[in-house]
Amino acid sequence: METSDNERSFILQEDWLKNIRTTAGTEQWVVVFSNRNSDRESVILYCAFIPNDYVERSLQNPRWDLQLGYGRPGTIVYNRDGELSEKYFRYGNDDGIEPLVIWRNFYELKPDCREITEEFRLFFNLYFDSRENRYVRIDESSGDEEDVVRVEGDTIKIRLSTLKEYLSSRGMHLALYFSVQRYSQLTLDELGLGVIRDQIVENKTTYQLFVGPSEPPIVKKRQTYSSLYGKKLVGAPEKVRIQNDLDDEKPKEYENFIIGIDDEGNPVTFTCNPEVLADFFGKNPGNPNFVTPVFFKKEVLSKYYSQPGKYSVEDGQLNCGSLWTLRLDNNHPRYVIVFLGDLGQTLGEKEQQYWGSFNVPPDGAISEVSHKRGVMAEFADPTEKHLLFKQEFKEFQRRWESAFGWCFFLPLSNDDSHFFAALRIPLTGDQAEFDAQILALAKILVDSLNEEELSRNASREAQGSISILEAFFDARGVANWKSHIDFLRDLQALRSSGSAHRKGSRYKKVAAVWGIGQRDLREICTAIFGSAIQLIHFLNDALLCHE
């Protein structure tokens, strides 16, 4: 009896009817396309945009307003007063019906494909991530990614909030179409049912349900057949609006940052809103100046170093792609310092909140480098060793290639480019961060030596990039190279015994060379970068001074 009840519920499609009446079109992720089949069930879900003034007409019939495969641009040829005329239709019809998903068929000569209509993609400036089969929207203030469309096999889902924004902006409804066919091995009599032919219109939903004997019942698995066919229309209230650069209804909010301490030693804060800050031309007298320095822990940069595909931390600035550039002082030995006005002018609300969590009271002054650049308008090399190394390394590479037509250090592949981008003095004394920097520096200085070209210009055959470099020095008559070769060998050994493998007795021996275990890892890494800079200077002086 229980089996019969379950089968009757299945063939009456009670689960689908409940879903259509209650949750369809209200879930966080709305299914706008699906096509799946089994012995017991065949489901096709589809959709289309229909103008608001077409809703009443659409609900008069459960028929789909747009069929699978339709919605592409096309022309219609018709007879007018005995003459053939041709008219172009952007979506293949003149009712204003537009596709959201286009099912493209190539006659079995090429694989079928489903595409999100271009207008929807361009409206939200969606990027297609082919590795994860998703369309993402990039927040213009933070650079954060938000999934808008997810493709999961033969199912396509779209974020409800984004659909609502689009519907409101376009003055349209989304018609969710459904066609569900089911089969039962039980007859109508065994199910306690008769033939059912229902057509229902309710709450912007119209559908027809048919239940009857399979015609013909070829196999016992298909004695009874049911079909649920129709659509549900989803609209958007007028209050839903897309926020963009032209929308001034929602004012930007600004965080308060610590700019000093009072007589009791308590933090003094002020907003970073540039409109209320003073400047050097008499604006907002009595308020803190736009260029009031705000201090942050070095760890504030961890987030940006960990995502080199999105952010780049450079000498004196932080970039989020081409969305924004934040001026900063990252040459201070203990802090990252940013002008109060720049925080508000450059960063969005979420980013300001993130920086606020690392904010500390002012402790001294900005670095000498930033003072020279920002106040004295003078040129100044960076003083932080990793920033100086990057500058010197890139300049040597440029000069060498210009002089000889080949790279002394091979460029990193795209998959390895993050090693150079994230190169830094560790922000903490953490061993893992230290190991990562040793691995990166060894990859840049040892693994990337251009063995092929160096061997071609060497005095003898040699094995291994460092030995080849020795032979190259000999061929060039370069002297006093031993300390630099020793540095590369020590760096390689530190990477091989610590960063790339389990740490054991060999690591302890190599670590002793650098004083690991007796000194702070940040101090050691600073010294290692210092040796790397000396190597670049040596290469410049020994190999390029006369070029």
**pLDDT tens-digit profile of 524-544?**
999 999 999 999 999 999 998
Q: Examine the fold and report which residue of 319, 347, 375 is the final residue of a domain before the chain moves on.
A: 375
* Of 231-240, 315-324, 463-472, minimum mean pLDDT range: 231-240
Residues 306 and 346 in one domain: yes
Query: Pick from 356, 357, 351: which is nearest to 325 by CA?
Result: 351
Is residue 409 domain-shared with residue 287, that is, in the same domain?
A: no
Work out the burial of residue 359: count CB atoms within 10 Å of its CB; fewer than 13 is exposed, 13-18 middle, 19 or more buried: buried
Backbone angles phi, psi at 420, to 5 degrees: -75, -40
Residue 11 contacts residue 191 (beta carbons within 8 Å): yes
Q: Tell whether the model's pLDDT for residue 547 goes beyond 60.
A: no
* 260 and 406 assigned to the same domain: no
Instruction: Quote the percentage of the chain above a pLDDT of 70.
Output: 94
- Determine, yes or no, domain membership for 241: no
Which regions of 214-334 does DSSP assign to beta strands (E)?
224-234, 256-261, 267-271, 293-297, 311-314, 317-320, 324-327
CB atoms within 10 A of CB 170: 17
Tell me, yes or no, whether 362 and 390 share the same domain. no
- Do 390 and 371 lie in one domain? The reply is no
**469 SS3 class:** helix
pLDDT at residue 9 is higher than 70: yes
Q: Note whether 446 and 341 are same-domain residues.
A: no
Peptide bond into 333 cis (omega under 30): no
**Residue 17: inside a domain:** yes
Instruction: Determine the pLDDT at residue 246.
Output: 45
Q: Kindly write down the DSSP assignment for every residue of 426-450, as one continuous string.
A: -SSS-HHHHHHHHHHHHIIIIITB-
Average pLDDT over residues 417-424: 94
Average pLDDT of the chain, as a whole number: 91
Query: What is the distance between the alpha carbons of residues 39 and 158, in angstroms, rounded to a whole number?
Result: 28
Query: Which candidate, 255, 194, 202, places its Cα nearest to that of 230?
Result: 202
Is 44 within a domain? yes
Centre a 10 Å sphere on the Cβ of residue 386 and count the other Cβ atoms it contains: 24
**Residue type for position 533:** I
Residue 244 lies in a domain: no
User: Higher model confidence: residue 33 or residue 242?
Assistant: 33
Residue 243 resides in a domain: no
Are 452 and 473 members of one domain?
A: yes
Which pLDDT score is estimated for 14? 96
Give the span between the Cα atoms of 32 and 176, in whole angstroms.
7
Q: Is residue 403 part of a domain?
A: yes
243 has a pLDDT exceeding 60: no
| Predicted local confidence at residue 240, as pLDDT | 45
Question: Is residue 250 in some structural domain?
Answer: no
Task: Report the phi/psi class of residue 96: left, alpha or beta, with left for phi > 0 and alpha for psi in -120 to 50.
Answer: left
Question: Shortest CA distance to 148 belongs to which of 160, 164, 139?
Answer: 160
Between the alpha carbon of residue 4 and those of residues 76, 190, 193, 198, the distances in Å are: 52, 8, 11, 22
> Is residue 73 domain-shared with residue 207, that is, in the same domain?
yes
pLDDT of 212 above 50: yes
Last residue of a domain, one of 375, 396, 430: 375
Judge whether 251 lies within some domain. no
User: What's the domain count of the chain?
Assistant: 3
Residues 414 and 537 in one domain: yes
Compute the average pLDDT of residues 118-142. Answer: 93
Higher pLDDT, 358 or 214: 358
Highest mean pLDDT among 275-284, 428-437, 505-514: 275-284
* Whether residue 278 sits in one domain with residue 325: yes
Given 354, 375, 396, the domain boundary residue is 375
Q: Which of 207-216, 327-336, 492-501 has the lowest mean pLDDT?
A: 492-501
347 & 274 share domain: yes
| 3-class SS of residue 261 | strand
Containing structural domain, residue 288: 256-375
Return the SS3 of 530: helix
